[in-house]
Amino acid sequence: MAGLGQAFGVSDDLIVGLAAALGSGLLIGLERERHKRRGPHREPAGLRTFTLAAMGGALAQALQLPGLVAVGTIAITGLAAVALLRQRGRDPGLTTEIALLVTYLIGALCVTAPLLGSPAAVVLTGLLAARTKLHRFATQVLREEELHDGLLLGALALVVLPLMPEQPLPWLAGMKMNSLLGLMLLLLALQAAGHVALRLAGPQTGLALSGLLSGLVSSTATIAAMGARARAEPALAPACLAGAVLSTCATWLQAQAMLFAMAPQAALAALPVCLLGAVVCGAMGWALARRSRAALTDGHPPANAADRRGPLRLREALLLAFILSAVAVAVSWARAHFGDTGLFGAVAVAAIADVHAPIVSLAGLQAAGSISAAQALQGLLLAFLCNGITRSITAVAAGGWRFARAIIAALAIPLLLGAALTTLLHGWPA
């Protein structure tokens, strides 16, 4: 649009802004026009009105006269009030009138920030088009306890977390309070994801899918959340177990993806082992999911205790955040007092708390040529072994021994098979 702006004697940014305002007004106006009633009781604003409102806001902003945008806002508000008075005696609602005012402001925003104004128009159009679905969700789908827990999660994330100090605390081995709260929020978010999946897809598929997706964030946290749910709702224990096992499958897939991103040569060496681990864990999780489906079909399906309780289990999240923080403090203390005894010693210590950090370190060393691809693969297996110990302890603590047995098997069997395959392909250091 460089030539067009020069032809009209204005900047190219202004041409882009006016075009964005025109498109925004047309988009919102099309949605409102489709929902207008017909006859004498139709809404006063449609395609042309919304397009003119957006262009009016854009021109008011482009002229840069002091107070012109504010005067236009007052004028739009007055017109909306007149329209409401004309519909007195019915239940007209305020949606169209408020949308008209917002459209005017979006038009003004498009001139100064078109990359923000255009998405705002799309969001507004989506909200207007989803009126029926949103009303049904608010009145029929969303329950009181779910709304309460959603507000709690939002308050913790948007109000409490920004207020937490970011300075490292010596008595917490250099950890930060906002990091600890972030960990707890992660656990609560995983609980909420599992609850939503359970509501949408049912006890079997929902929990299994939730476990697989949540495992991409933290398999340890997923195992803890699933174990706590299995202990609280025994009828859902098989489905929770399937989700926990599938979270271990996600860890193998994530490790392979991280290696491909940072060290392709190490990724090729680890590909058979990671695929083997993912296939074994995935098959175990799928079998457990089928067994849980059969158990709930042949027996008596639970009355869905999740329907009577909110999605968040604040006490379990606090307990697990404390346990993982204590592990991190212990690791830091061990490093400070005993040091790292070589590459594999450092990997083993780091993997106790988190399996991702040592994998990134191994990939960086291999990409730099400091270690071989075979050493990176051996270090990866060692990281899975040490982190598997943490996950096994978490499974026992959260869900009990009966819950933990399958988790330990899902952690141990792929590891043993992977170690055997690594020894066959690359040998094992003495």
Please give the pLDDT value at position 302: 44
| Pairwise CA distance, residues 259 & 340, whole Å | 23
The predicted model scores a pTM of 0.56
CA nearest to 228, candidates 27, 396, 19, 6: 396
What lies within 8 Å, CB to CB, of 284 at 6+ separation is 245, 406, 409, 410, 413
| Pairwise CA distance, residues 287 & 373, whole Å | 34
| Pairwise CA distance, residues 260 & 48, whole Å | 53
Please give the pLDDT value at position 58: 92
pLDDT tens digit string along 179-204?
677 767 776 776 677 677 666 665 55
Residue 166 carries which DSSP code?
-
All structural domains of the chain with their residue ranges = 2-138, 147-426
Per-residue pLDDT of the chain (430 residues; tens, 9 = 90+): 556 656 666 777 888 889 999 999 999 999 888 877 555 555 666 788 899 999 999 999 998 888 899 999 999 888 878 877 776 555 556 778 888 899 999 999 999 998 999 999 999 999 888 877 877 777 777 777 777 778 888 888 888 878 777 777 666 655 667 767 776 777 677 667 767 766 666 555 667 777 887 776 678 888 988 888 888 888 888 888 988 999 999 889 888 887 887 788 888 988 999 999 999 999 998 888 888 766 655 544 444 444 455 667 677 667 666 765 665 565 556 555 655 455 677 677 777 777 877 787 778 778 877 778 888 888 889 889 988 998 999 999 888 898 999 899 999 999 999 989 888 877 655 4
| Pairwise CA distance, residues 306 & 316, whole Å | 16
CA nearest to 176, candidates 389, 332, 334: 332
Q: Please state the three-class secondary structure of the chain as a single string.
A: CHHHHHHHCCCHHHHHHHHHHHHHHHHHHHHHHHCCCCCCCCCCCCHHHHHHHHHHHHHHHHHCCCCHHHHHHHHHHHHHHHHHHHCCCCCCCCHHHHHHHHHHHHHHHHHHCHHHHHHHHHHHHHHHHCHHHHHHHHHHHCCHHHHHHHHHHHHHHHHHHHHCCCCCEHHHCCECHHHHHHHHHHHHHHHHHHHHHHHHHCHHHHHHHHHHHHHCCCHHHHHHHHHHHHHHCHHHHHHHHHHHHHHHHHHHHHHHHHHHHHCHHHHHHHHHHHHHHHHHHHHHHHHHHHHHHHHHHHCCCCCCHHHCCCCCCHHHHHHHHHHHHHHHHHHHHHHHHHCCCHHHHHHHHHHHHCCHHHHHHHHHHHHCCCCCHHHHHHHHHHHHHHHHHHHHHHHHHHHCHHHHHHHHHHHHHHHHHHHHHHHHHHCCCC
Please give the pLDDT value at position 328: 56
Residue 41 carries which DSSP code?
T
Helix/strand/coil for 191: helix
Residue 169 carries which DSSP code?
B
Q: Count the residues in the chain.
A: 430
From the CB of residue 396, how many other CB atoms can be counted at a distance below 10 Å?
17
What lies within 8 Å, CB to CB, of 367 at 6+ separation is 262, 263, 265, 266
User: Using DSSP, how many helices (H) and how many strands (E) does the chain show?
Assistant: 19, 0
Please give the pLDDT value at position 203: 56
Residue 239 tokens read as 């489905």
